[in-house]
Structures are given as structure tokens and as C-alpha cells.
Amino acid sequence: MQPTLRRRLLVVLASLTLALLLSDLAGSGVADGVRRAGGLVLGPVQRALAGAPRDELAAVEGENTRLRAVTAEQQHRLDELGRLDELLGSSVTTGRTLIPARVVATHLSPLGGRSVTIDVGSRDGIRADSTVVAAEGLVGRVVAVSPWTSDVQVLGSAGSVVAVRVGPAGTLGTVSPSAPGDSESRPRGSLRLSSVVPSTPVVGDVVRTLGSIDETPYAAGIVVGTVTAVDPDRGQLTRSATVRPAVDADAIDVVAVLVPSARSAPRAATRATQTAAGTPR
């Protein structure tokens, strides 16, 4: 190739790249198309390389994880059921459907924080903004879907904010990564909990997701983590605290994607009754 031609090619390609970078920063849809193309072409190769095995052992392992997730789910539902039972005397629960998946690649971006790729995609019924959970609790949400793989934004990535309920009382708050402007120093990998209402979180409180409409992007009642330290009172209106995530972001392997299920049946009105013991049932 001629040197001048090569120089011209370099300039053209560099300008194209710069244009794509700017359009992505501006939030244009072109960049998403490029992303999907990358996943479409290279996703199957990654699945093969990561040895997503189809043998008996892997099937049993996957089944095991699914069952453990179901057990955790059932336990939580039992707790919730008990509380609701106490309050009203009856309850309405909705079933939750899971798609098990394996992590096939991880990426630490300087801007977006940590994201992982899982080996299920739109052909398996995954849609963007689905909740991703592990057996221990919340992992994150699906941000991009290609036919065979999907990219997951892990809890604690820059820009991921989760609405939560804290402790047994269910105080409202938000969990976000500790930003550079944060006044407190937090251990690596832990998150910042800011209360919405004036209340003080207690060390040891379990933090669960508040849930969104139609369970996207976050389903309700999934464990996010535990409060490990409460920031000192500096006269601010609401208190903030440090939360240790339930899922270790460095060791995510088998996860499950929740299939959002909108409630279709109307909830029946119930009547609270007082028992002889004086405790509402």
C-alpha cells in the first residue's frame, strides 16, 4: 500500500471511530447496533471457549443452583407471607419464572464499572432491563441483549442506582456506588446507602429491593446486602450508610434471569380479624 493512501485510510478510520464515540456519548442508537453486531458474531465463540458444557455434571450443577435459588425465593416468600398474614390474614403472591445462565466474560470499564456477559440471549427469551439474581441475592440488570448472549450491569457499576427497603421496618432508600464526591471512605466493593426519609439504619439490617412497575428493571424483595457501618451524624437531613453486597462481584458464576410477570388477577379485598390472643392474624 502507498504511504499516502495508508495515511488517508488512517485519517478516515480514526474520524469514523471518533464520530462513533461521540454518537455513543450523545446516546445515539447507532452504537447499540454495533454492540449487538459484536455480540452476534463473537458471542458463540465465547460460549464455546468458556466451555459452556452440555454434559450431565453441568446439568446437575445448573439444576442445583436453580433449586437453591428457588429455595431462597421460597424462604423469602414464606417470610413475606408470614408478615402479610399477620397484617391481613390472607395474601396474594405471584409466581416468579427464572432462566438460569452462566457468566462467560467479564469486563472492567474505566467508565461503566463492572459488567459481565451471560450465555443466554433474546432467543432464550431474555429482554433488556430484566433482573439478574444469584443464589445469594441481587446481581444486577440486563442492559444489552444479543441473540445468544446478554450484557449485565453489575450492582455497584457507575450509574446503577437501586431503590431499596432497609431493615425489618422497610425504610425507603437508594443504594448506589460510592461516588468520588462521597464524604466517607468505604471499603472496596461496598455500596452507599442513602435514606430517602429521615431515619437511622442499624448495622446488620438487611437491604432488599423495593421493586419497580412490572418487575423491570428490578423485582421486589430481593436481598441486595447488609448494612455494615453507619456514617456519623454531621447534621444532614438523612443518614447514609455502607452496604456490603450479598453477592461477591468478583465471583459471579451461575446466575438466574427473572422473567417479569405482570399481575393480571385483581387482588381481593380482605378483612382483618382480631383473635382472642390480641395479636392480629
Residues forming contacts to other proteins in the complex (CB under 8 A) are: 1, 3, 6-7, 9-10, 13-14, 17-18, 20-21, 24-25, 31, 34-35, 37-39, 41-43, 45-46, 49-51, 104-113, 115-117, 144, 146, 149, 151-152, 158, 177, 179-180, 188
What is the C-alpha to C-alpha distance for residues 138 and 159, in angstroms, rounded to an integer? 16
What is the C-alpha to C-alpha distance for residues 267 and 281, in angstroms, rounded to an integer? 18
Q: Which is nearer to other proteins, 82 or 187 (CB)?
A: 187
DSSP 75-115: HHHHHHHHHHHHHHS-------EEEEEEEEEEEEETTTEEE
> Contact at 8 Å (CB) between 115 and 121?
no
All three cell numbers of 197: 426519609
What is the C-alpha to C-alpha distance for residues 44 and 105, in angstroms, rounded to an integer? 12
204 three-state secondary structure: coil
Q: Which is nearer to other proteins, 11 or 172 (CB)?
A: 11
Q: Which is nearer to other proteins, 46 or 199 (CB)?
A: 46
Q: Which is nearer to other proteins, 26 or 262 (CB)?
A: 26
DSSP one-letter code for 260:
P
- Strands 131-133 and 162-166: what pairing? unpaired
At closest approach, how far in Å is the CB of 27 from other proteins?
11
DSSP one-letter code for 240:
E
At closest approach, how far in Å is the CB of 151 from other proteins?
5
Q: Which is nearer to other proteins, 37 or 202 (CB)?
A: 37
Which secondary-structure segment (H or E) carries 12?
helix 3-25
> Contact at 8 Å (CB) between 39 and 148?
yes
> Contact at 8 Å (CB) between 155 and 249?
yes
What is the C-alpha to C-alpha distance for residues 146 and 39, in angstroms, rounded to an integer? 6
Q: Which is nearer to other proteins, 116 or 223 (CB)?
A: 116
At closest approach, how far in Å is the CB of 67 from other proteins?
24
At closest approach, how far in Å is the CB of 34 from other proteins?
6
At closest approach, how far in Å is the CB of 260 from other proteins?
22
Q: Which is nearer to other proteins, 14 or 202 (CB)?
A: 14
Q: Which is nearer to other proteins, 100 or 113 (CB)?
A: 113
What is the C-alpha to C-alpha distance for residues 65 and 59, in angstroms, rounded to an integer? 10
Tell me the CA end-to-end span of the chain in Å, nearest whole number. 83
At closest approach, how far in Å is the CB of 4 from other proteins?
10
At closest approach, how far in Å is the CB of 114 from other proteins?
9
At closest approach, how far in Å is the CB of 123 from other proteins?
15
